[in-house]
Amino acid sequence: MGTILEVSRVSKNFEGVQALTNLDLSVSEGEIRAIIGPNGSGKTTLINVITGIFPPSSGRIIFNGEDVTNFPAHHRVRRGMARTFQNLRLFPTMSVIEHILAAQYIHAKVGLFGTILPSKEGSLEEAQMYERAMEILSFVDLADRAAMPAVSLPYGQRRVLEIARALAADPKIVFLDEPAAGLSADEINSLEKLLRRIQERGITICLVEHRMMLVMSVAEKITVLNYGEKIAEGPPEKIKDDPEVIEAYLGRELASELDKSGE
């Protein structure tokens, strides 16, 4: 399988704070990649730079064979990147289905006059959008909530709706920023199943997550960041025992104590 995303030597500097330093990341098509690291290690910054919320200070981002480093966010979405946010960012005045309809905006083909004036193509496309929205909602198991205002959904379903909204943009790769935050064990279980079903659709997943149970069971490869640098990368079994990773999470003293007790 080919490489879909190639991040090379990306740095990000926020007025003196070095959030990312010479970071390389390469994601293959169809994989589930987890990006982990302690708080403030630059995981969300990395996603923001890749999806174009802000530009990197240096380095290049190649997506699907194309250099997208200087593209604005909305161009990257058109090329197949979608994301969710760590702190939910749903549209407060919209119902569940309207989120999915709105997110299909970029793929609509009928122009301004066709959509605004009554026309056959316009109403046909609108019907197709609606149908596809219902299909996506049943895929994530929210179809029975379609007409509800999104704000009245319980927290776990709001997280799922954010994922559904990202899927509606028809992405090749989707970045999920802590999708399991605040979920119960049951909800994490069904999230895991959902992630696998998304992968089955041929969509590459990049997952930033703190819940290690989920990461270890779902990710094929894990990238570990600390202070904006990559300190380890590999399959879950390898990462679990990597001394540098344990040190980053637990601190040097605790890690060495753990090491001793293990011996």
Partner 1 sequence: MTEARKRELERTVSIIVFVLLTLAPIFVRSQYPFFVLCLAVINGIAVMGLNFIFGFAGQLHMGVAAFLGIGSYAFSLAAVKYGWNWWAAAILSIIVVGIFSLFLGFPTLRLKRYYLAIMTIGFQEITRSVLMNWSSFTGGVFGIQNIPRPSLFGLQFTDNRLFYYLALILSILLYLLAIRIERSRFGRALRAVRDDELAAEAMGMNSTFLKVFAFIWCGAYSAVAGTLYASFQQYVSPELYTSAYSFSFVSMLVFGGIGSVPGAVLGATALTVLMELLRFMKQWYLVIYAAAIIVIIVYEPYGLMGILTRMRTKRLAAAELSEGARDASL
Q: Which residues bind partner 1 (CB under 8 A)?
A: 51, 53, 72-74, 77-78, 82-83, 85, 89-95, 98, 101-106, 108, 112, 115-118, 122, 126, 129, 147, 165-166, 169
CA gap 199, 6 in Å, rounded: 19
How near is the Cβ of 241 to partner 1 at its closest, in Å? Answer: 36
How near is the Cβ of 108 to partner 1 at its closest, in Å? Answer: 5
Between 78 and 252, name the residue whose CB sits nearer to partner 1.
78
CA gap 211, 190 in Å, rounded: 14
Partners of 175 in the beta sheet? 83, 206
How near is the Cβ of 97 to partner 1 at its closest, in Å? Answer: 8
How near is the Cβ of 190 to partner 1 at its closest, in Å? Answer: 24
| Token pair for 174 | 């989707």
CA dihedral 214, 219, 233, 76 (to 10 degrees): -110
Between 173 and 215, name the residue whose CB sits nearer to partner 1.
173
How near is the Cβ of 205 to partner 1 at its closest, in Å? Answer: 16
Between 90 and 198, name the residue whose CB sits nearer to partner 1.
90
Between 38 and 122, name the residue whose CB sits nearer to partner 1.
122
Between 146 and 250, name the residue whose CB sits nearer to partner 1.
146
How near is the Cβ of 252 to partner 1 at its closest, in Å? Answer: 38
| CA dihedral over 80, 91, 112, 168, signed as positive or negative | positive
How near is the Cβ of 240 to partner 1 at its closest, in Å? Answer: 32
Between 142 and 215, name the residue whose CB sits nearer to partner 1.
142
Q: Cβ of 151: how many Cβ atoms within 10 Å?
A: 12
Helices (H), 34-184: 43-51, 73-78, 96-103, 112-116, 120-139, 155-168
From 47, 53, 54, select the one nearest 7 (Cα to Cα). Answer: 47
Between 100 and 245, name the residue whose CB sits nearer to partner 1.
100
CA gap 220, 202 in Å, rounded: 15
How near is the Cβ of 159 to partner 1 at its closest, in Å? Answer: 14
| Cα separations in angstroms, 109 against 102, 121, 129, 175 | 14, 9, 11, 26
Parallel/antiparallel/unpaired status of strands 58-63 and 3-14: antiparallel
| CA dihedral over 227, 231, 236, 241, signed as positive or negative | negative
Q: Quick check: 8 and 62 in contact, CB under 8 A? A: yes
Between 77 and 225, name the residue whose CB sits nearer to partner 1.
77
